[in-house]
Structure 1
């Protein structure tokens, strides 16, 4: 699941942050479609439904700069090939999507093409949005037409040659894009199908939780198998392995709590996923959260976790770190997380038997130790307890020591981390 954060870039380019629901789309006049209401009351209901669906797609995360006007775009998305800037999608005639028709809007979601027919970079998750139904597209269009227009021009992308040539996207699309609305599986329940539609379509969760190849395309054989979010340096854990965030042994309530509030008895979300919960998931109905939970629980679990992309740390060095790490943990961490690592959930998540702590990738626990952070503020958890940063207080070796101790204590089966890993992540961007 993911946020601005989670993007798959151009012809040969990256993917995903978690998050990144970007409706590179637009609209004109819904009344031209007979299926859409002519009565003001019905139109108001359509707009309300469209707002809900836009929340489910997390559109605001990519199209709103922090402190800026809603949906006015301009958010920079850094990639190895340059910087993409999200467009203005308010109904402004000059700089937004005010002159787009509902057909134009649907084409952007379903086909990944702009009003003029130009190809959209796959930072806009049309590979997932293609599954969105026409009815839902029209509802989102109606909502986007109702927001205040903002007369701010979209900033042009700053991509290096040849990645600034959109024609290269033809090859990328041939390899990695298959358009088509979601088709319900008649052998599954209505609830399962609703969850699949939300997870695979509007939620575009696979953009973060699936590895990408050298061409920036998803590795279909590793769907939901986890992946490092490029340049953001957050790891979206595998949903197919109980050694990571696989949900096979989670209670439905714990999954639902995590999605809806950002915290549960099993842990809390931080980083890009915290923004997804804050901007999107907390607004979803209990029925939809329940449907997503049912679908997530049904994802086949694999015995092996994805390969570690970490530096190796010798067992001898790991033993040395353990004793140093225990002292640091006792002095800095035990007050909240308890000497036995059980924490005080949901305020202070447990570290013992926590998959996110002991999975092969140590990126997330290292980043949390360095930078701290908060779970999202939600209606179900309006005043979240935060994690203080230790980047200024602890050296690379000390951070490696305490993370190693946490990953290898209380029955956890993680591996040691090295000071070099900490050094590499110390300067990573916070967003």
Structure 2
């Protein structure tokens, strides 16, 4: 009977949401645009502030979410998939009717810091205000100045595509109480300036936690699991644990390796592919060397992780691995080496590779099926890519070769089953 009490939670949330929707419907609509404070208006026109805002917008990778494929930068139109439905990213160019042309800086600051829109409505956390709340007011002002300097693009925002009851913004009142605590980043006086800068970038504007942390059934990041890895909803891609210490996803990575992969997309330990390739291409490759070093300093301070639990019984991984070794020798060995050592600067190593070893096995499966495409960067303008094998290998063969790779050499990851390959083969690419 005790467990039945949990069945009341969805009902209570719906009742609260309906009550909240009625209350919101009684409130006035969007506020009339007011004049910007004169002291802020002059700052918004400062070329140095605009230039700094451009850099900070790249740190936050704002363009990736707020640009539709083939569309104008920052003009919105992209649908962000979530387990609850699609959320359209809005137009943030300074168009007066469809963008942020009527916004004052106070409106922008409230959105970044408090997750509240100009119309007073709570924003959905697909806009990562749970991280952006840590951004300083001065940095937010610079970003706003840059966005206001862009060419206005008239592009109406798409409609929300969330299922009931998630389409009722009033339900966010409960979600925010559980998962959101506003507050700018507070430096740790016991740490170096570089470490604090790295923490500010990783936890705030860089919003790394939004992907690299496990989320629960309500879409909230698990507080105890910050940066310890998690499967990205609706993409079937695993963002690895970012600890470089024992049992971490980047175990054995040194400071320079982290800098290299963020700057060029390649390092001696692995290559940026999947969603991270897009992040490197549009964001991290443009960061200053000092900021990349600061990020590396912070990540190297993350604690060691617990020893992972042994794989469940009942999977005969030895048979899978034997078959997979034969496939590896035929299709993979010529590039990645007999010992999974790869070719430096050309083909990534598979021995000790974070993409190979992540807990779910989804990344390696999807690379075998769909190919591996590192980002094109200034430091690596012509990267070598891996061809897709979806049309050449059966689900059983993919499961076998991925299992072999995950258990060969020094790798000690769990086996991948054929049913998993079936699932990941049919996942759409965003």
Once residues 126 and 331 of structure 2 are traced to their aligned partners in structure 1, the CA distance between those partners, rounded to angstroms, is: 40
Partner SS state of residue 209, structure 1: coil
Counterparts in 2 of 1:313 and 1:372: CA distance versus 1, 3 Å: farther
Query: Once the two structures are superposed, what CA deviation does each residue of 1:89-143 show, in whole Å capped at 9, x if it has no partner?
Result: 1100011000000111111100101111111000000010001111001100000
Partner SS state of residue 123, structure 1: coil
Partner of 1:221: 224
Query: Once the two structures are superposed, what CA deviation does each residue of 1:338-391 show, in whole Å capped at 9, x if it has no partner?
Result: 112101022101112324323432110011111112111111111111011001
1:212 equivalent to 2:210? Answer: no
Contact 1:268 1:346 in 2 (8 A): no
Return the offset for 1:326: 1.5
Contact 2:229 2:241 in 1 (8 A): yes
Once residues 339 and 246 of structure 1 are traced to their aligned partners in structure 2, the CA distance between those partners, rounded to angstroms, is: 23
Once residues 241 and 51 of structure 1 are traced to their aligned partners in structure 2, the CA distance between those partners, rounded to angstroms, is: 31
Q: How does 1:51-62 map to 2 (within 5 A)?
A: 51-62=54-65
Partner SS state of residue 220, structure 2: coil
> Which residues of structure 2 form unaligned runs of 5+?
1-12, 15-32
Once residues 37 and 216 of structure 1 are traced to their aligned partners in structure 2, the CA distance between those partners, rounded to angstroms, is: 37
Partner of 1:8: none
Partner SS state of residue 300, structure 2: helix
Partner of 1:90: 93
The aligned length equals 400
Contact 1:228 1:235 in 2 (8 A): yes
Contact 1:85 1:157 in 2 (8 A): yes
Counterparts in 2 of 1:393 and 1:85: CA distance versus 1, 3 Å: same
Contact 2:228 2:243 in 1 (8 A): yes
Between Structure 1 and Structure 2, the one with more helix by share is 2
Contact 2:244 2:253 in 1 (8 A): no
Return the offset for 1:262: 1.0
Once residues 380 and 296 of structure 1 are traced to their aligned partners in structure 2, the CA distance between those partners, rounded to angstroms, is: 22
1:203 equivalent to 2:206? Answer: yes
Bigger CA drift: 181-190 or 319-328?
A: 319-328
Partner SS state of residue 151, structure 1: coil
1:364 equivalent to 2:363? Answer: yes
**Larger Rg over CA atoms:** 2
Return the offset for 1:36: 5.5
Contact 1:313 1:417 in 2 (8 A): no
Partner of 1:146: 149
Contact 2:250 2:354 in 1 (8 A): no
1:233 to 236, 241, 250: 236
Partner of 2:428: 429
Return the offset for 1:81: 2.1
Partner of 2:38: 32
Greater RCO structure (CA 8 Å; 6+ sep): 1
Once residues 35 and 247 of structure 1 are traced to their aligned partners in structure 2, the CA distance between those partners, rounded to angstroms, is: 45
TM-score if structure 1 supplies the norm length?
0.88
Q: CA RMSD in A?
A: 2.1
Once residues 384 and 129 of structure 2 are traced to their aligned partners in structure 1, the CA distance between those partners, rounded to angstroms, is: 36
Partner of 1:282: 285
TM-score if structure 2 supplies the norm length?
0.89
Once residues 273 and 172 of structure 1 are traced to their aligned partners in structure 2, the CA distance between those partners, rounded to angstroms, is: 28
> Which residues of structure 1 form unaligned runs of 5+?
1-10, 13-26
1:168 equivalent to 2:167? Answer: no
